[in-house]
Amino acid sequence: MKRVFPALLAATVTVSAPAAGQAASNQVSIEKANGRICISTNGLPNHSTGKFPNKGNPHAMRAQRARYCVTQNPAKSGSPRAYKGSVGVALNGVAIRPATADYWDPGSPRKHSRDRSSGWNLEGIGARKQLGMDSSNAHVDERGLYHYHGVPSGYLKTVKGTLVGYAADGFEIHYVGKQAKSGWSLKKGTRPNGPGGRYDGTYVEDWEYTGGSGKLDRCNGDTLDGKFVYFATTTYPFYPRCLWGQASADFR
């Protein structure tokens, strides 16, 4: 598909002190040289956050020391590869990690754990309350790394234009609101095993790719102004869960 959005501008990020909520001291620099784009960051956002730890998230937010480098000339392969972990980085230096490492576990006090045996992978935004997400669809991992699972309202207020970050394979990530439509749909009916109940988006397995005219590909990608990019969407998968290019080792 070829898609053209009018009046798209190159994005810029204004680093400012958080207006409310938990304080964060953002430090980020972006360098473009020798065919690479490198984002050096302390991992803290340039907007207010929720309070961590909280009821659904036992971890405290801590500054990190990270450098993410991607190619300036990404190449699209013949088929995409599934990808978990930090799939990209926002222009403010915050990691983009839509997937989780948690699975339904009836034997756990929290009813989810890192035990994969159930096969029902908790979906970050679908289980946002259980995982202690804040208003920017983010929370903190065991290292104290703040990261986005969905479209972050706080961050979007600091961005001009549509470019919000880079995927691990170097392709840009844009946010254009409802103009980009996900090709994923909730399955119909009820879960045949595991947690049971109706498919409601709590688990990754509640979703299936159905595509359709005008929809993004299964990795949330499409052509924008003549070049391939990924999109952030307000519905599943929120960010790419697979990559068309070669992922940089900096994201592993």
In a domain, 20, yes or no: yes
- What's the Cα-to-Cα distance from 228 to each of 55, 89, 170, rounded to whole Å? 40, 18, 11
Q: Are 120 and 104 in contact (CB under 8 A)?
A: yes
**AA identity, residue 218:** R
Cα separation of 51 and 175, whole Å?
26
List Cβ neighbours of 44 (8 Å cut-off, separation of 6 or more).
24, 25, 26, 27, 61, 63, 64, 93, 94, 146
Is residue 3 included in any domain, yes or no?
no
In a domain, 8, yes or no: no
Residue 32 lies in a domain: yes
Residue 232 lies in a domain: yes
Residue 2 located in a structural domain: no
Domain tally, the chain: 1
Q: Please report, in tens digits, the pLDDT of each residue of the chain (252 residues total).
A: 444 433 333 344 444 434 445 556 999 999 999 999 999 999 999 999 999 999 999 999 999 999 999 999 999 999 999 999 999 999 999 999 999 999 999 999 999 999 999 999 999 999 999 999 999 999 999 999 999 999 999 999 999 999 999 999 999 999 999 999 999 999 999 999 999 999 999 999 999 999 999 999 999 999 999 999 999 999 999 999 999 999 999 998
Contact 136, 126 (CB under 8 A): no
Confidence (pTM):
0.91
- Domain coverage including residue 200: 16-252
Chain-centre distance for alpha carbon 227: 21
Examine residue 5 and state whether it is found in any structural domain, yes or no: no
